[in-house]
Amino acid sequence: MEMTNSKPRRGRPPKHARDNQDTKAILIRSGLEQLTETGFAASGIDIILKKVGVPKGSFYYYFSSKEAFGTAVIENYASFFMYQLDRCLSDESLPAIDRLSIFVASAKQGMAKFNYKRGCLIGNLEQEVDLLPESFRPLLTQIFVSWQNRLAQCLQQAQHDGQLSFNADCNKLAEIFWVGWEGAVSRAKLVESDQPLQDFYDFYQAGLPKN
């Protein structure tokens, strides 16, 4: 897949009656599947387009370059992931300190659903960062920080509720979780098992400074 600096919408709009936004969403979804499984550098436009039956000319109607397409895929994934994470961490049916277990259970189900071929798109891209457009680096960093901030808020709630030591550094604990979690996801893909996810979560929970 070659990079191009062409101006947006130089390609052909779709010939069919399918709504433009629907076509764009379909392209992003196909790109998400491809990038999650094979990474950005190894992914080609032709494979993505073939899966959804969209001609290359129409692709460039929506995205000016591979970089622009990758950015759209990343942002789409990050928004969905944050929605799911927020849903888990705001679930008041569990104490705040235990809500992360809902996220872990959901991640385990998701990886099993796709036979451990897919992991975390953001974590995957982090591993090939030197091969990515430079514009991706601050974007990926910003996404990780947003996840850390959300987990830190949940841990702070646990502090408020007396479940976590008031001396705990919630921001640092949240950062440590995501660094370790991405490694656990990679190991789960390698061994085709969700055991690394559960092992890491158990280890993380055991190490939290509780009252």
pLDDT at 8: 44
Cβ(144)–Cβ(122) below 8 Å: yes
Tokens for 30, please give them.
């196909």
* Nearest by Cα to 155 from 145, 141, 140, 165: 165
Shortest CA distance to 169 belongs to which of 152, 148, 154? Answer: 152
Tokens of 26: 């379909």
Predicted pLDDT at 17 = 41
At 118-157, the pLDDT tens digits run 889 999 899 899 989 999 999 999 999 999 999 999 999 9
Cβ distance 128 to 41 under 8 Å? Answer: yes
Question: What per-residue confidence (pLDDT) applies to 20?
Answer: 62
- C-alpha–C-alpha distance, residues 82 and 167, integer Å: 27
What is the token pair recorded at 140? Answer: 């990926």
Which domains, and CATH codes, for the chain? 66-207 (1.10.357.10)
How far apart are the C-alpha atoms of 29 and 33, rounded to whole Å?
A: 6
Closest by Cα among 176, 159, 177, 181 to 168: 159
With beta carbons less than 8 A apart as the criterion, state whether 123 and 188 touch.
no
Q: Take residue 82 and report the two structure tokens written for it.
A: 């944050």
**Residues 6 or more apart whose Cβ sits within 8 Å of residue 10:** 60, 61, 64
Q: Residues in the chain with pLDDT < 70? A: 1-21
CB 120 within 8 A of CB 147: no
CA distances from 132 to 4, 42, 122, 205 (A): 14, 11, 12, 34
Predicted local distance difference test score (pLDDT) of residue 85? 97
